[in-house]
A and B are shown apart, each in its own frame.
Chain A
């Protein structure tokens, strides 16, 4: 099982000091988060993509490329890549390039984005959100699998004789997750392609997450990719830890009360009860996270959000230390012990390459492509 961190890259005023970091400092802190995540033994670093203040990561492959050069082992991912407003051709090119530079340590999570004006800023209409995700991904999927693509669609200018370069590393496209909070169509899309499905459950009650994940699992099996419990599932999580749980609550409360996403709403206590947010001791985080398995089944990737709401970098890095030393080693052991036989790990470049090489070239099934 993979463990990692995902960041939205928000520039939020620290409510306890009134200080706001510069964009440059925030970008540097995202890099520091990634380097430290590798250092403490996590498996994945994922960056959001945003095109409006107060968020800084508008150019994920630039950020991830820089991090790739300074890390050895950690998988670089996105949370999420806007499949609706980005040109799928540019996604194909940018991430194949990144994949080469990072030696295959790259996967992506597709998302539609939740900021209305981003659609018109990029020449699209939010009412087409689902259809853009469907069409753009169908094209991206082909660009990574077919050397020469002729294509015509609803939203993008046609392509004749187009080759996306560089070709994916070793001919193996980056693994793709599809992230959606509430759209059954996206769970369906992930299932259709046999891709991963990620539920960023940090703001959501478990029943809702369960509904989305079980739909994905059922349809993954329906489309012939394997049994439902072998589908590839990722979850979000949100934690703040101190050795003493009361100290954790005391320190985190002002950040919770002023955070853009839930400030002014429910109390910290109600929110913790109703969503996976865990503020407390490392043991509480372990217990809570192990509990996720009870409502989604054995899953492959757990990402934590730890660097938002104006928390200072020093505090965030302390959180990473605790994750790496006290939490993740226990989670790895416990999840592994509970995992049903046969449940696969999340695909990596190495595993996808091995799976491909295991089949002689002549016997390889034709790639499963969307109907045209």
Chain B
């Protein structure tokens, strides 16, 4: 079996950021879990901050710079995506959304995705399920049930009231690894390699 490609998209702004910290933990846990299932994997990290200007340019011009093209191609070729954003004003950050706004339609269709978010306090945790999850649902991605939110305090001591961050990370990674294993490689038919024959287009018009 070939190595599975796990692509991490992190929209953290500071360097280092807690968003990247969470993204890395999710990636390591997923790689470990896959290894436990006998599958090897490799991880590519895309820091959106490095592409911020190119993302705006793409939005305005309609095409990506070569550097951004390479990042997008990583996502298109991925077997799994880990997408992590800081929560700003009750939702994903604008930078995070920009990246998913410039992807071609159906780019993420059927792709196993693990979503994560960071924020100052736990009060924003539901933004994952109210804002981030619907975005990926719209894109037809296969989002795993557990989404991982890390508040600043999660990086400290566990509390009895909720499972520790490490446990949530492990559970989410397990779900993502399971999805990767059972996932059929996505059908990525290249419309330029095999175009719809023109007779079929004419037939569509004729038969409605």
Contact = CB atoms under 8 A, between A and B. Distances in A.
A274 B66 contact: yes
Contact of B204 (A131, A205, A215): A131
B195 interface: yes
B208 A274 contact: no
B202 A188 contact: no
B1 interface: no
Contacts of B197: 188
A192 B201 CA distance: 11
B61 A266 contact: yes
Interface-centre pick from B61, B196, B197 (highest chain A CB count, 10 A): B61
Nearest to B201: A134
Contacts of A211: 192
Given A135-B205, A208-B63, A189 B192 contact: no
B129 interface: no
Contact of A184 (B63, B66, B191): B191
A131 B202 CA distance: 8
A49 to B, nearest CB: 21
A113 to B, nearest CB: 15
B154 to A, nearest CB: 39
A214 to B, nearest CB: 8
Interface in B150-207: 191-192, 195-199, 201-206
Contacts of A204: 63
Contact of B61 (A153, A223, A265): A265
Contacts of B60: 262, 264-266
A27 interface: no
Contacts of A187: 195
A138 interface: yes
B199 A371 contact: yes
B62 interface: yes
A131 B61 contact: no
B132 to A, nearest CB: 27
Contact of A266 (B57, B206, B208): B57
Given A131-B201, A265-B60, A274-B65, A184 B195 contact: yes
Contact of A153 (B195, B203, B205): B205
For the complex of A and B, the 8 pairs showing the least CB-CB separation, nearest first, are A265-B60, A192-B198, A135-B205, A266-B57, A184-B191, A184-B195, A265-B57, A188-B195
Given A184-B191, A188-B195, A270-B65, 11 more contacts: A131-B201, A134-B204, A138-B205, A154-B205, A184-B196, A189-B198, A189-B201, A203-B61, A223-B198, A262-B61, A371-B199
Interface of A: 130-131, 134-135, 138, 153-154, 184-185, 187-189, 191-192, 203-205, 208, 211-212, 214-215, 219, 223, 261-262, 264-266, 270-271, 274-275, 370-372
15 contacts: A131-B201, A134-B204, A138-B205, A184-B196, A188-B195, A189-B198, A203-B61, A215-B192, A219-B195, A223-B198, A261-B61, A265-B61, A266-B57, A266-B60, A266-B65
